Structure 1
């Protein structure tokens, strides 16, 4: 079945910023849509999100150029393409753009079209999106990584560390991960309110803190775990997203909340000390995306017991992931659709990560939409992990809820291995 029409529209993400929606219509009238997310803490090596820059309209954030590129250039080139040939569609998008970072047409333009075509193809075949993307081989329900406290660029720098998250490593089912998270999330809220430490919700739905130091959140998190009736390190592990590229000036790392600056070696020692002191099982972007020496040293020290995730380091880019694997810079890769700009390239990044024995973590962005595409992507590729944000706000909950629906569709084919997932890379 061939593509008959492609159209695009400006809609709004969870921060109220403009973003792109694409609708694809096939010859038989079947349609598919794609809603494009947007990041706040973005890596310098990401594919380019094209915005208009006109300060008189939406403070420069409008996406009418990307929409024009879809309507006037991409659509005419893809009309008549067989919608189920996903790789050819995505290769055509890459060819049309002609740059190494989607900067001419915009990654928000190419991704919207790629997502919409994939969903239209699934609808045409009468199967769920995860079944289409995974060719019927996806069955692993993800272990959730869920933010409890937000900081960094997602909470106006209330603290320097971007995310304090939990992972329900002791859960026996996907549904239990949500119940455990619910209990801890609300316990943390009660603690924050009782201490006068909460000023609202961060971009991804976690509590917006008012802490005096970057270590104070650990105390609240551990207390919330205890209050909810769980054991830290056994039932619940801590995960961090440092977003260290935002803290590095090319010479030292600055933790402004603590009033301290660290050389790369000192910052590496600080990260190791946190991993020794607290029940941390996963840490994302502990160093800047150019500080290879610290990445290598840190992974060598703690990579046998901690998942070391590269986000800004890899930006879902196959060449950067390959370099990381060859130089043993990490042992896991954060996967974000809009960092690379097509569905096919995203799946290839996941496959390369898995072929190296590393773990992929499918992730949302801080500026999200009501599209649950990544829930399907995580299951389709047997990625095993999903990071969406917190346990509030509908643009987050729609992803967790979609996995529940996928679980029902899979029935007895569904598989969940929980914390056993980490045995694939963690040896200590």
Structure 2
């Protein structure tokens, strides 16, 4: 059958949610199917992530243009893939990796390669008249992720006095995704009223969470707990808390030494941060902690997981960068019990699927995630259902590029017509 044969691939420079250029790829099949995909971009990025190719021309977008990446799609990748069957995802992704021929996709750019990879998957699904989540995940894909909604920002994602990058509300006690989304959206709006009443800023950070100046990192948790209760929910039962320290952003050049520079808390060692985390987990209904330590602090991560891994989900992001090589090391050393999963950290759909499967096969959880620079592309929502990972973070109850993913999940839940699964663990 020639229906899903690739007829054309082309790339276009567009803008992401921060107003920076990113890559959008269009794929046309011989049967007339047309699909497009837009690539997200991170702010607090791990050192070992696949390379996002930028032009470096200071006269355009401050050097952040992606014309080179688009040209690589149009002039190098497209000629090799036209004529191939779009349903051969693994083969297509492997060909692009071989075309790039670097360990980190620095020649063609992970943004170029991922744009094609995602658009090809979308086109193949559409050609079969199938939803993307069923095409990627199979007929049994029906688990809707618990939304870990970022409602308060700090660190690299905000211009304020908070070190922790993300404070998330997790509706683990809701009976269904739509109800869980309502729980945390209501909490988000209640939090705004609390901030307004106290004369604190209600402007939002890159991912839509509020970004007020606070007296301490702990004050952020206290505010969220107040918002949960005032919304009519019970902390720890209906809604819990998840944190993303993004500790690499306040790590010093000395491994195991940190400078909590935004809050003014000063310098702390890994053991100090672990002791702080133990106090917080005892005091607050925290169920997940992402990147509590820096990407080079493997020894600290092992200690953190030994201390808290039986109580909470310990997630490596910058530590693993969705790369099976680093995830395997984490599994072997006990450095965490979960990995964050970001498509653009590794650069192809196939490699991202491999990372999720490696986690699940070894009893780990896979935490699907957006990036701080996003688009209204909803690929991630379908992908989260396809992988059945159980939880997802894709921003707050504001900013259309975040809400697009939540709304897509509502559509999927509705389409499953009572057959959707929703549970934390």
> What is the SS of the residue equivalent to 2:77?
helix
The equivalent position to 2:380 in structure 1, one of 363, 374, 386, is 374
The equivalent position to 1:134 in structure 2, one of 132, 137, 161, is 137
Given that 1:66 and 1:105 are in contact with CA atoms closer than 8 Å, whether structure 2 keeps it comes out as yes
The equivalent position to 1:318 in structure 2, one of 290, 307, 324, is 324
> How many matched pairs?
419
The equivalent position to 2:60 in structure 1, one of 57, 81, 84, is 57
Question: Which residue of the partner structure matches residue 259 of structure 2?
Answer: 254
Question: Which residue of the partner structure matches residue 225 of structure 1?
Answer: 228
Shift of 1:315: 0.5
> What is the SS of the residue equivalent to 2:148?
strand
The equivalent position to 2:394 in structure 1, one of 388, 391, 394, is 388
Q: Does 1:172 align with 2:175?
A: yes
The equivalent position to 1:214 in structure 2, one of 217, 225, 232, is 217
Given that 1:24 and 1:33 are in contact with CA atoms closer than 8 Å, whether structure 2 keeps it comes out as yes
Given that 2:192 and 2:202 are in contact with CA atoms closer than 8 Å, whether structure 1 keeps it comes out as no
Given that 2:160 and 2:213 are in contact with CA atoms closer than 8 Å, whether structure 1 keeps it comes out as no
Taking the aligned partners of 1:263 and 1:210, their CA distance within structure 2 comes to: 24
Question: Which residue of the partner structure matches residue 97 of structure 1?
Answer: 100
Shift of 1:187: 0.8
Question: Which residue of the partner structure matches residue 351 of structure 2?
Answer: 345
> What is the SS of the residue equivalent to 2:217?
coil
Taking the aligned partners of 1:72 and 1:85, their CA distance within structure 2 comes to: 21
Given that 2:154 and 2:211 are in contact with CA atoms closer than 8 Å, whether structure 1 keeps it comes out as yes
Taking the aligned partners of 1:162 and 1:412, their CA distance within structure 2 comes to: 36
Q: How do residues 22-421 of structure 1 correspond to structure 2 at under 5 angstroms? A: 22-251=25-254, 252-256=257-261, 257-417=263-423, 419=424, 421=425
Taking the aligned partners of 1:118 and 1:31, their CA distance within structure 2 comes to: 11
Report the CA distance shift for 1:157/1:210 in structure 2 as closer, same or farther (over 3 A).
closer
> What is the SS of the residue equivalent to 2:241?
strand
Taking the aligned partners of 1:76 and 1:129, their CA distance within structure 2 comes to: 25
TM-score (norm 1): 0.96
Shift of 1:413: 2.7
> What is the SS of the residue equivalent to 2:417?
helix
Shift of 1:199: 4.6
> What is the SS of the residue equivalent to 1:209?
coil
Q: Which runs of 4+ in 1 moved over 3 A?
A: none
Taking the aligned partners of 1:126 and 1:394, their CA distance within structure 2 comes to: 27
Question: Which residue of the partner structure matches residue 424 of structure 1?
Answer: none
**How well do the aligned residues superpose, as a CA RMSD in angstroms?**
1.0
Gaps of 5+ in 2: none
Shift of 1:378: 0.7
Taking the aligned partners of 2:287 and 2:300, their CA distance within structure 1 comes to: 19
Taking the aligned partners of 2:220 and 2:208, their CA distance within structure 1 comes to: 16
Taking the aligned partners of 2:51 and 2:161, their CA distance within structure 1 comes to: 28
Taking the aligned partners of 2:38 and 2:268, their CA distance within structure 1 comes to: 40
Given that 1:272 and 1:298 are in contact with CA atoms closer than 8 Å, whether structure 2 keeps it comes out as no
TM-score (norm 2): 0.97
Q: Deviations over 1:333-380 (max 9, x none)?
A: 111000000000001100001001111111000000000101000111
> What is the SS of the residue equivalent to 2:147?
strand
Given that 2:200 and 2:212 are in contact with CA atoms closer than 8 Å, whether structure 1 keeps it comes out as yes
Shift of 1:415: 1.4
Taking the aligned partners of 1:72 and 1:288, their CA distance within structure 2 comes to: 39
> What is the SS of the residue equivalent to 2:404?
helix
